[in-house]
Structure 1
Amino acid sequence: MTPVLNHTNCSGCCSSGDRVITLIFMVALILAILLGNSVILAVFLATKHLRTPQGYLKTSLAVADLALGILVVPFSVYGEIKMLSINSSLAEEGYEVLFVGSWHPCYLIGPVFAGCTLVSISTIFLLAIERSIAILKPLHKEVVITRRRTLLFIFLSWAASFFLAMIPIITSHGGIVLEYNRCSRMCNYAPAPSSPANVWHILLLFPAFDFSLLGGTLIINALSLTTIHQYTRRRKLLSGTDHEPLRVSFSDIKAAKTIGVLTIAFTASFTPIAVFVVGNVLGYQWCTFSFFAFWMLASNSCWNVIVYSVCDQRFREGARQIFMSLRCLCCRSSLS
């Protein structure tokens, strides 16, 4: 999520040398997010046999990650470049000098980061449900999991996620605002001047919602993987007999394991943010930890292509076909 940060003095962690290193990291992350998720979209949209309900969900996940690489991280790069270019006397005033005017860009960037994070969590939850139905009820899979229902749930996921991202602004009646924070180098929710202390408690809605979904996802994945293990044991015991159990396809088993890896990766990247939000609500201010927490979550946007490449053979084959097609196209262009 994009939780709250106080106006913390980070002058010790914002030297020119640190900003240059941070800027290099941000630019590298943008390239990784854009390249990785562009490959994912190309594979799932261009490969016909991957245009399945599961493929649509993974495409939705890639779009949410791609939005971070297009809007959220580049905005942080802009902030770092501006701080490097202004003189030292202005730099001491903080990042507030970067944005002047009646409308602050963080009122767009902040909800995008929060909303896309929620979309990722809810999409992984939907992927786990889709895989559990395919594993537990393989005969009913085609009837229950349809493309139309999948697209409907994707739409509801995006709408609900961005509505939830706006709740702190809507319900706090001006008590919570969005600002560019010098510690996390991102747009974060922050208390408005003279706002009551209890207005912060609404931000606990984010980790409560996220961990509820992630906890449910872990339980569903555990149930699916347990069923796969039991099925494998029965198949070995009954191999060669006429009473072999109902076959679960190999692709369904691999897909369930891939979703399990995605869930673990996202839970690991989100946990520091949840700890930070709770600590902030309790009054703790962790400047260095805030940068680590926010950017670990942002870095998760380029992990999916690695997980698919390692765990999903069909994805590797689709990526190889696209690469070969591009290679042939380049060769023809060079010959002509």
Structure 2
Amino acid sequence: MSAPLGNLSMPWGSGILMGVTENPNLTAAAFSGAWEGESLAPLCTFCCCGLLNRTLAVVFMVTLAFAIVGGNVVTLTVFIQTRQSRTPQGYLKVSLALADMMVGVLVVPFSIYTEISLMVTSSPPAWYQGGSLTADSGLGGPWQPCRLIGPVFAGCTFVSISTIFLMTVERSVAILRPLHKDSLVTRHRILLLILLSWAGSFLLALAPLILSDSFTLEYNECSRMCNYAPLLDGARPPPDGSVLLLFPAFDFTLLGGTLAVNILSFTSIRRYTRRRKLLSEGSLAAGDSGSSGGCPHRPSFSDIKAAKTIGILTFAFTASFSPIAVFVLGNVVGYTWCNFSFFAFWILTANSCCNVIIYSVRDQRFRKGVALLFQRDRVPPPREKS
């Protein structure tokens, strides 16, 4: 953990500010010289900008991109070619896979391209930490690709957590109201909720740009990603900088709701399991099986296992998102963690390839779909005519 940024008193980690974590006494004049276009070397430590470090980062990014795209292509293909997967839960899995796929197709490849460009060229791209760093520059200067990539990454993150929340609610209905599941959870309602989830998530991702004129997006040397950055007016932080707290507030609200619904579902499962054990031991009369509280109807084994799988998905997403939340809160109070920002952002990105692994381990229907998928690719040899 580093100290606050010395004389600058800047609470936000813009691309240049985050690159000088190890040199907090750099003067405002040095910053202004960089912003006015002087030819200065990238302001970051050897740990962030060394050739070996960049090479290892690129290898990691390429591997992660193939893992994300390959795993989610399998998920989508299983859904398309397997009728058994076309359930409300299946549509939610497709929504989650599409969000993860966009991260692997757009976000990670852009970071790979930028890192390779910085290694093989003597000067950074024209848009790299360009004219968007000052309040006077506005929207002028070269087009900033991060204005597309940044909201895509943020929006896909919000889609993931909102989809996991919907999956949890859908499974809780199956656990608590199994006889009403088909009437309450219909295909049309799920598709409508998925559409609202995507629209709301990307609207929230654009909120800092819509609600404030003090932010833009730029590629960050420490996180190796497109991050929201303040449009600085001298050395003063933006007055409405706390708008970025909308991001962790939204995620932790949904994660808290997901956790509460999971606890409710698992409590019902535990009561049902206990009653079934007592029945098998003869300690509970058959007529009293529904009198001890909890769900009076028996949820299916597949519903119980699916609920546990979604609980694992929730835990995995919470673990991957927590470092980002800590990083954002640290920025708000005036701390900048260069090395930590890289791990925080890329741990969250790596979560995009975790879902297919969890499905493969926990979901028997998914494993059967994958097995059928690869069996169809094997064409049987033609029989010889007698």
Could you say whether these structures have the same fold, taking a TM-score greater than 0.5 normalized by the shorter chain as the test? Answer: yes
Instruction: Show the 5 A alignment for 1:1-336.
Output: 5-6=13-14, 7=16, 8-9=18-19, 10-12=44-46, 13-87=48-122, 90=123, 95-96=128-129, 102-173=142-213, 175-194=214-233, 196-239=237-280, 242-243=286-287, 244-245=289-290, 246-326=297-377, 328-329=378-379
Q: Secondary structure at the match of 2:219?
A: strand
Query: CA–CA distance in 2 between the matches of 1:76 and 1:182?
Result: 10
Question: Percent of counterpart pairs with the same letter?
Answer: 59
Measure the CA separation in 2 of the matches of 1:220 and 1:254. Answer: 15
- 2-structure distance, mates of 1:308, 1:296: 19
Distance 1:198 1:62 in 2: 38
Instruction: Give the secondary-structure state (helix, strand or coil) at the position aligned to 1:96.
Output: coil
Q: Aligned partner of 1:22: which letter?
A: A
For 2:275 and 2:327, the matched residues in 1 are separated by 45
Amino acid paired to 2:260: I
Structure 2 CA distance for partners of 1:332 and 1:113, relative to 1, 3 Å: farther
Instruction: Give the AA of the match of 1:220.
Output: V
Does the CA contact (< 8 Å) of 2:78 and 2:373 recur in 1?
yes
Q: Distance in 1 between matches of 2:308 and 2:250?
A: 24
Partners of 2:164 and 2:310 within 8 A in 1? yes
Q: Distance in 2 between matches of 1:141 and 1:53?
A: 10
Distance (whole Å) between structure 1 residues aligned to residue 127 and residue 212 of structure 2: 26
Q: Distance in 2 between matches of 1:293 and 1:31?
A: 20
Tell me the CA shift for residue 163 of structure 1: 0.3
Code of the residue aligned with 1:283 in structure 2: it is G
In terms of fraction of residues, the more helix-rich structure is: 1
Q: Separation in 1 of the partners of 2:68 and 2:222?
A: 22
Cα deviation, residue 11, structure 1? 3.1
User: Unmatched 5+ residue regions in structure 1?
Assistant: none
Q: Could you give the per-residue CA deviations for residues 294-321 of structure 1, whole angstroms, max 9, x where no partner exists?
A: 0000000000011011111111111111
Give the 3 Å change call, closer, same or farther, for CA 94–103 of structure 1 in structure 2: closer
Take 1:101 and 1:47, find their aligned partners in 2: how far apart are those partners?
50
2:241 and 2:334 map into 1 onto residues whose CA distance is: 10
Q: Distance in 1 between matches of 2:304 and 2:216?
A: 45
TM-score (normalizing by structure 1): 0.92
Structure 2: which amino acid aligns with 1:288? N
- Quote the offset at 1:197 in angstroms: 3.3
Cα drift, residue 242 of structure 1: 4.3
The Cα of 1:220 is off from its aligned counterpart by 0.6
Rg larger in structure: 2
1:83–1:95 contact (8 Å) kept in structure 2: no
Please give the root-mean-square deviation of Cα atoms over the aligned residues, in Å: 2.2
- The one-letter code of the counterpart of 1:11 is T
* TM-score normalized by the length of structure 2: 0.80
Check conservation: 1:221, 1:260, Cα contact below 8 A.
yes
